[in-house]
A and B are shown apart, each in its own frame.
Chain A
Amino acid sequence: MSETKHLTSRAQEALERWEQETLQPVLRKRPESKERFETVSLDSVERLYTPVDTEEIDYEQDTSFPGEFPYTRGIHPTGYRGKLWTMRQFAGFGTPEETNARFKYLMAQGQTGLSVAYDLPTLMGYDADSQLSEGEVGKCGVAVSSLADMETLFDGIPLESVTVSQTINAPASVLLAMYLVVAEKQGADWKKISGTLQNDILKEYIAQKEWIYPIRPAMKLVVDTFEFCTKYVPKYNPISVSGYHIREAGATALQELAFTLRDGIEYVQWGVDAGLNVDEFVPRISFFFNAHNDFFEEIAKYRAARRIWSRVMRERFNARDPRTMQLRFHTQTAGVSLTVQQPLNNIVRVAIQALAGVLGGTNSLHTDAYDEALALPTDEAALIALRTQQIIAEETGVVNTIDPLGGSYFLESLTKKMEDGALDYFAKIDAMGGMVEAIEKGYPQREIQESAYQYQKAVERNEQIIVGVNKYRIEDEKQMSVLVIDEAVRDRQVEKLQGVRARRDEGAVANALEKLKRAAQAGDNTMPATIEAVRAYATLGEICSALRDVYGIYEEPAF
């Protein structure tokens, strides 16, 4: 200890000497380009980081070794030397047939996991033939209204061996039920299937806004999936607690980190309150973060996330199993950072953001396609996005050693600042009574709106530069061609849906829906009844409508 202090005071003295002898003469001749340098989340970035900035960080306590508490340097003792991250490109558009073909194409190109994007009607729990679905079917993702669509979507894709991530939230329990029934029909063993359901309803109220029911019953549905999966689908991740959308809605990196982990705490608390054992269900909670432009701050965010989560699980929830304390996460590059102007520049942005995710130790990664500021990606753009990951993995050498930036004075200091900042947010949210209460008060929503507005103003004042948008512009750019979703997708989906309704046993559907309502009213686990309804080919819209009857719908308060 005294030796450390001695070293630090020597470092401090050396720093002061450098400032006087070497730095000051240069600054007198030529001042720096700005008075203040900042990251997205922090007010100031220092000129230089030295051992003085990391003196409070204890290597064994705070940083430690990969695979050991508090996991700052990663959860695997061999990092990417043992296993690379999963290359998991988010895809989905048009009909289930079209998306099935895209999945097979991506897998043939070396992609190692699947990730389904559903269209807006599916995300909101409406069938393709609902009046509210007009103009939206198959536009932002694939249209799935019943088990029949799910069967087509995964036709020829073995669900026991391929891991599939599904971006679905408000109606997540229904899509999980469809997925499990398709797996069962393929002959897959539920005990063996792995994959991830996004199922993060809190961030919907905070940021993405694709909700159906009021918050508390919606949280109950999430807990139902935890309970069901822990028992019957033990290798499946029933939730991916997502900062991605919080960031896209305008949050800073620090707000993304803080709100996401606080959401995670809320889910764990609800699970515990429902009688679940922390060491049984928390190991299957996964996370999902954004990778934005500010390179070092993003890497610090991922490292801080692992450290905070392990400490919270051990200290707040008395977790014993190391797996409960290991934060696993998926990363996606920042869609919001992509520009319509000079779109090929997006390939460069995505590569740098993806590299941040990898240097932060992500467990899986989606790289955005360069044309996504305008539309869903074409085959060519989707391929370049996948190739970007493959180049990072195979050519750059960053995978050869674990946490290669660990020990950087700057990065370690930033990691600590992100951790401290997140804990400050936790204290505020705890004081409000928890995340559900904070959302009801509009707190995270207002914080994000404020950050989004300040960012836009900074862009308009040219303080925040976006190449090709407010600097280095090209007038009269040629437009690129984009993927267009045919309006006829809806007609085809409606026709299929009518076929499903004509073929099924209406009595079985009515019984199953009635059973589901009773389970919801009684506060029982809704998963068994949801699975029965799905098996009878009750549609997504019918199932959500039955639950709407019981739970009501969410109305966003004005703020």
Chain B
Amino acid sequence: MSERKIRVLVAKPGLDGHDRGAKVIARALRDAGMEVIYTGLRQTPEMIAAAALQEDVDAVGISILSGAHNTLCPRIVGLLRERGMDDCLVLVGGIIPQEDVPRLKEQGIAQVFLPGTSTEDIVRFLRENVRPRV
């Protein structure tokens, strides 16, 4: 039996239209053999959680550059947990001040990727941390 591919939802919540990073990462994850679903722009936390459930993803990668991360990230994590997606990893990347990182992690964000991150580091993190499923 072949190993199940890691499935990732790349999500852009909020009003921010800067999607260069989200698209580069979506393609890098695909090139690394993962299945990637990109939500498109300006998704509400509810839309993102619904898409994650419907697509049965192992991880959600949130891209935020607008400064709205403290409002939006915990809400997305909360909605995923409400839907029983307890093992779904939630990652955030974008313009996030270092001092916000501990709070985001306490709120259930598995990892925060700051500017300058290599896409290879994100691939490696997902491979090491996604819980294998049967």
Residues of A within 8 A of B (CB): 120-121, 123-124, 126, 132-136, 139-140, 204, 208-211, 248-250, 336, 339-341, 373-375, 449, 452-453, 456, 459-460, 466, 469, 479, 482, 484-485, 487, 556, 558
Tell me whether B24 and A452 are in contact (CB under 8 A). yes
CB distance from A284 to the nearest CB of B (A): 27
CB distance from B96 to the nearest CB of A (A): 9
Bound-state CA distance A249–B24 (Å) is: 11
How many residues of B sit at the interface, in one of the four size bands?
20 to 34
Tell me whether A375 and B24 are in contact (CB under 8 A). no
Is the contact region of chain B dominated by helix, strand, or loop, or is it mixed?
loop
Given contacts A134-B71, A485-B67, A558-B40, contact A209 B98 (CB under 8 A): no
Bound-state CA distance A445–B67 (Å) is: 25
Checking B40, B67, B98, B115 against A556 with a beta-carbon cut-off of 8 angstroms, the contacting residue is B40
Tell me whether A341 and B116 are in contact (CB under 8 A). yes
Given contacts A120-B16, A452-B20, A460-B120, contact A375 B98 (CB under 8 A): no
Tell me whether B71 and A340 are in contact (CB under 8 A). no
Bound-state CA distance A133–B40 (Å) is: 18
Total A-B Cβ pairs within 8 A: 93
Kindly report which residue of chain B lies nearest to residue A336, judged by CB atoms.
Answer: B20
In the bound complex, residues from chain B placing their C-beta under 8 Å from that of A250 are 20, 24
In the bound complex, residues from chain A placing their C-beta under 8 Å from that of B119 are 456, 460
Tell me whether B97 and A469 are in contact (CB under 8 A). no
Bound-state CA distance A460–B24 (Å) is: 12
Q: Does B17 contact A (CB under 8 A)?
A: yes
Apart from A248-B20, A487-B70, what are 10 other A-B pairs with CB-CB below 8 Å?
A134-B71, A139-B68, A140-B66, A209-B18, A210-B15, A375-B97, A452-B20, A453-B24, A484-B97, A556-B40
Which 5 A-B pairs have CB atoms at the shortest separation, nearest pair first? A135-B71, A209-B17, A135-B68, A120-B15, A139-B67
Q: Does B50 contact A (CB under 8 A)?
A: no
Q: Does B27 contact A (CB under 8 A)?
A: yes
In the bound complex, residues from chain A placing their C-beta under 8 Å from that of B19 are 209, 249
CB distance from B42 to the nearest CB of A (A): 8
Residues of B within 8 A of A (CB): 14-20, 23-24, 27-28, 40-42, 44, 66-68, 70-72, 95, 97-99, 114-116, 118-120
Tell me whether B20 and A120 are in contact (CB under 8 A). no
In the bound complex, residues from chain B placing their C-beta under 8 Å from that of A121 are 15
Tell me whether A479 and B23 are in contact (CB under 8 A). no
Given contacts A341-B116, A479-B98, contact A136 B14 (CB under 8 A): yes
Tell me whether B116 and A133 are in contact (CB under 8 A). no
In the bound complex, residues from chain B placing their C-beta under 8 Å from that of A466 are 116
In the bound complex, residues from chain B placing their C-beta under 8 Å from that of A134 are 68, 71
Bound-state CA distance A341–B115 (Å) is: 9
Checking B15, B24, B95, B97 against A123 with a beta-carbon cut-off of 8 angstroms, the contacting residue is B15
In the bound complex, residues from chain A placing their C-beta under 8 Å from that of B68 are 134-136, 139
Bound-state CA distance A123–B66 (Å) is: 12
CB distance from A510 to the nearest CB of B (A): 27
In the bound complex, residues from chain A placing their C-beta under 8 Å from that of B115 are 339-340, 373-374
CB distance from B114 to the nearest CB of A (A): 6
Checking B27, B67, B98, B118 against A140 with a beta-carbon cut-off of 8 angstroms, the contacting residue is B67
Tell me whether A456 and B28 are in contact (CB under 8 A). yes
